[in-house]
Structures are given as C-alpha cells and as structure tokens.
A and B are shown apart, each in its own frame.
Chain A
C-alpha cells in the first residue's frame, strides 16, 4: 500500500471547490505544461465524463488553464486564468466529449502546441482527493503520477534503449522508484517512464540523447 501522509489527510492546500474537479485539474494542467517544456501557444482541452458535465460549476476550466500557466493547486491566480492566458498570448479552448464511455469519470485530453510548433497530447485522470495519473501520451497508453521526478524517454522500439537509459541514471546516482515501458506496437513508438527519488539533471539528459534511436526526452520535476 502506498504511503498515506498526514498531508494527504490535512491537505491538499487548494483553490476550491472540489479536490477532484479543481485541484486535480490544476495538477494535470501543470504536469502537461512541464511535459511540453516550451512556451505554449495553443491549448485545447477535451473533457470527458463528469468533467464534461460539471466543469463550469467546479472551475475545472479555469483550473486546467491555470495549470498550463504554471499555477499549483493553491494559487489564487487560477481564478483569473482566462485573463492571464490572454495576457500571455495563449489561445485556449474546451470541448466536451460525452459520447465516449470507455473513460475514467474525470478525464481530460490536453492538446498543446508550443510557439516552436511542437505538438503534444496528454491524457490526465483525476482520481480523487486531488490525486491524478497521466494515462496517455499522444496515442500511446502510459501511466505515471507526477508524485516523483519523472523522466519520459520516447524512442523507436529496438533492443537496448532501457539499458542505455538506466546506465546513465546509475552513473548520475539517480535511484529509480519505478520504471515502466510502454509501446504502441512492436518496432513502433515506445516510451520508457522512470520515476525517481532524485531530480534528473540536464547533463544526464544530454548523455542519454547520445543514443541515436532516442527521439525525445521529457523531464517532469516533482
């Protein structure tokens, strides 16, 4: 069983009104921002389930956008995120998907485009009490929570990549909490997601990028 902290009980500190619909939404937005890692130009949120039905009354829309702007769950600027996004020249939009039923009740797809033209879609699920999990990167099903430092390595599915990544981590004294490998199909796009106790430095990332089959590396700091 995962450790339950006293601050999971007395917490999170958050902008109301709902830990799942507001705090969880902000956390998903913030994780998505960290993943794209560049100035965002455009973002579209596709809302599913209860998110789609009640997002206005819970400020889910403001909270998601607040996360994209870099606000944490207890940042009151979440309330003004529409105005602040305009100020930062971020185009934002929302759409509801109430037809797809095979999704967790509080799910959102965050479709981002950066100023440099980089595109990224991540799916987040708010699973209660402000806790979240990310379950999809573009079309590949994945799983991580953002509770640890995360390293997301995208590559073509060939042998030896995990070994090259873990060797670098070992050289940089990074202790791996969880390591999971995901792929679309054999030989297709694959992701290795490492959740670690220590922060993964830019130097380590550069070292990993020397492996030519690695296409992209995203670092999500806790």
Chain B
C-alpha cells in the first residue's frame, strides 16, 4: 500500500472510501513497518509540542538568538484582545500562532519541523485557529496532521522542501500547501478538495525566494509564516466553496521544483540576496556576527 503522486492518492481514497488521513496512516504502518498505536502516539506527541510552541510565546515574549525577532506573538495577541484586529476571527488567531512558533524556534525552544523549522509556524497556526474557532475535536486535528503529512510527503518526494534547493516557496510554500489540505479535511472536504487547495497554495507562492538576514532563521522567515497561514486559509476556503484548481497538484509540485532549481544561488538560503543583501540586512549581519 503506497502512493507516489496525487493521482494515485485520489484513486486510493476513492476506491477504498477512506480519507487522506487514513490512507496516510495505513501507508505509515505498512511501509514504515510499525503499528497503529505507535503511529498515533507519535502524532499526538507532535501535536502536543506544536500546541505548546504556538502558545508559550503569547504569554511571555521570547528573544531570538540573533536578536532580530521576539515579542511579535504577544503584541498581536494584545492587539486582538483590545478588539482592534482588522483580520479578526480565524485569520487573526492564525496570524498570532504563525508568529509564535518561529519565535519559539529562534529562541532555541522545542518545535516540530513541518516540513522545516523555518516554516514550522504555518501548519500549527491553521490547525489551532480552526480548532478554537470551530470547536473541533483532537481527533479532527490529528486527521489534519496526517492529511498535511500526505501532501508534505508528496512534495518531499516529487519536488523539494529545502530552501537551499528550491527557495522559500519550497519551505513556506510547502507548509502552506500542507496546511491548506489539512484545513479542507478538518472542515469536511474530500481528497480532491484537499489537493485543489494545496495546488492553489503552491501556485500563489511560486517563486518565493529564501533570503534569511545574516543566514539566521529569523527574518523574513517569521513574517512569511503569516503569509503561508493566510494563503492556506484562503486556498482552503476556495476549495471548500467548490472552486477547482486550474493546475492539478502533481503538475504544480513539478512546477514549483523547476522554478526552484532556476532560482539563482543568491536566493536559495545563502543569505547573499533579497532581504539579506539590502543595506539594512547587511548592517544587521555585521552587528550580529562582528560585535556579538
């Protein structure tokens, strides 16, 4: 029991009448030579860490190792609590969590890479915002994680999730596609809607470069997690409303990879281009490494 692309996943789901999450569970048990209890326990543990990393920085601001970020989640939360949020609802919550996890990560806290450490805020942001606003069960959230895992696996297998290889579109873009599929599944959508949302998410962030200031996983990584989460929610809503993706997921994944390989070296995690190469970016790098 295995699938190597989205077409095969859709076929498996439709033939068996099972969800993406259940197909992904079965694949893990069979191909990973393990059992259902172990797989479920491991995922629960990941969820627990995600939950903690999305909430801790709201209560107390965490300063990053490089000093470029820290305190964003608490600021956003205070803004929301004061009734001033212009995003409101699910989006404002997702925004807070999307900033909290990178804060945790950059201060050497414990996070779950999903699919990478730099993009680790996107999936928890979407999961917990929906969980709280729609009062979803833990089981539904775990199903969301397995659904996201299926999409992430396909991208890891057939494209790339490494910024050094294919830019930020492969990290935050992939995380966004995973979160979009999870959101659709958690809100009752089927396999085709999940993959439509994932495909649209990828296409929206196509070409996004990886340009970390001073080479650190801080800025612009943190705020890009916000755009990854927002993009996932809008793509999910489109799919749930019945809008189909123009480009099928498998073709979109291939395209993301091709675009990534065409990005110049300077824009693939080398900290030689984009934000990192601006005068301010260079000055910050000097401040961190020459004076620190």
A residues apposed to B, CB below 8 Å = 1, 3-19, 22-23, 50, 53-54, 56-59, 62, 74, 76, 78-79, 128-130
Are A11 and B113 in touch, CB under 8 angstroms?
yes
Are A57 and B215 in touch, CB under 8 angstroms?
yes
Q: Does B24 count as interface, using CB distance less than 8 angstroms?
A: yes
B residues apposed to A, CB below 8 Å = 24, 27-28, 31-32, 39, 42-43, 45-46, 49, 64-66, 104-118, 120, 123, 145-146, 148-150, 152-153, 156-157, 161-162, 164, 178, 214-218, 288-289, 292
Are A3 and B32 in touch, CB under 8 angstroms?
yes
B24 nearest CB neighbor, chain A only: A6
Are B65 and A59 in touch, CB under 8 angstroms?
yes
Q: How far is the CA of A130 from the CA of B115 in the complex (A)?
A: 11
Are A10 and B149 in touch, CB under 8 angstroms?
yes
Are A13 and B157 in touch, CB under 8 angstroms?
no
Shortest C-beta distance, B29 to chain A (Å), equals 10
A106 nearest CB neighbor, chain B only: B164
Q: How far is the CA of A22 from the CA of B108 in the complex (A)?
A: 9
Are B215 and A50 in touch, CB under 8 angstroms?
yes
A105 nearest CB neighbor, chain B only: B164
What are 9 A-B contacts with C-beta separation under 8 Å?
A4-B156, A9-B149, A13-B45, A17-B118, A17-B217, A17-B218, A22-B108, A129-B113, A130-B113
B45 nearest CB neighbor, chain A only: A13
Are A76 and B117 CB-contacts (below 8 A) given A9-B152, A57-B288?
A: no
Q: Which residues from B are CB-within-8-Å of A16?
A: 104-111, 117, 120, 217
A59 nearest CB neighbor, chain B only: B108
Q: Which residues from B are CB-within-8-Å of A62?
A: 108
Are B289 and A19 in touch, CB under 8 angstroms?
no
Are A9 and B215 in touch, CB under 8 angstroms?
no
Are A76 and B110 in touch, CB under 8 angstroms?
yes
Are A4 and B157 CB-contacts (below 8 A) given A22-B117, A128-B162?
A: yes
Shortest C-beta distance, B140 to chain A (Å), equals 16
8 Å CB contact of A9 from B109, B115, B217: B115
Q: How far is the CA of A154 from the CA of B154 in the complex (A)?
A: 40
8 Å CB contact of A14 from B27, B111, B150: B111
